Every structure is written in C-alpha cells, then in structure tokens.
Structure 1
Amino acid sequence: MRAAGETTNTAPEDNQTEQEDNNKGRLRLIIVSVGLAALIITVVTVNIWTRAKGSKAQTEENMEQIDEDEDEVDYENDGGASASV
C-alpha cells in the first residue's frame, strides 16, 4: 500500500517501451489501411478495364455482322422483349 503523499513513478525505460509499442501499432494500422486501399483500387480498375475491353470486342463483332448482310436484319433474340442495363 502507498502512503497518502506517495506517487508511483514508472521507469523512463517502461514509458519509452510503451511509446514504441504504440508507434508500432499505429504504423501497422497505416500500412494495412494503405495496402487494403491499394488492393481495392486495383480490383476496381481491372474490373472496369475488362468490362470496357469486352464491350469493345462485342461492338467490333456486331459491326462485322452488319457489314456482311446489309439487306437483311438478323436478330439473335427472336423471343420476347429484353431490357439491358
């Protein structure tokens, strides 16, 4: 037990070690956050790029089909109406 006027002093080495641990924790949090953000940006960019590339290929294929048969119109979906998003 401590007396009424007594204070507990922690050693300076303990405070320094605790501060270093806090700094390491913050650094780890920053690195993980930046890495996760980079991963998300990469995935979104690749996704957009592949979709754009795929639609460009479809457009070129459609133009080739139209050039072959200018007098006739062939529809691949002869069924009901469809909506594109």
Structure 2
Amino acid sequence: MTIRHDTQDELIVSSYLRELRKSKGVSQETLASLLGEGQSVISKYENAQRKLTAAEFLRIVVLLEEDPQKASEELSRRLGL
C-alpha cells in the first residue's frame, strides 16, 4: 500500500464532500445551517482549508441523507484503502 501525504488525502475528502453535496442539490448555505455553522466552514471543508474529522464527515453524510456505509466505502475506494 502506498502512503500518501495528508494533504492529498484531504483534497480527496474535500472533493468527495463537494460532489456529494452538489449531487443532493444542497447549497453550502443550507448545509451550514443544518450543521449550525456559517457557510465559510463548509467552504473551508470543501477547499481542504479546514480538516474534517470522521465524526464531522459522517454527520454531514447523514444530513445529506446519504447512506453512511455507502459514503464510507466510496471514500475508501477514492483513497485507495
């Protein structure tokens, strides 16, 4: 298995989060409101300017009404795990 630099993984995670949000037709503002955060927090997540914990990722997945197992499997695939 190849070990990548954290930044590369963060870009993959942020890209997937953006794609998932857009595929659900949810704006950054709406997602931020659901999370009780400002829109800039979502923007920072999606631009890999703020680290996203596993718990935060799963919370967002659930708020976007995506199956957490499916999302985790897709993210693992993208990360090459």
With the length of structure 2 as denominator, give the TM-score of the two structures.
0.31
More relative contact order, 1 or 2 (CA 8 Å, 6+ apart): 2
Structure of larger gyration radius: 1
Given the two structures, how large is their TM-score scaled by the length of structure 1? 0.30
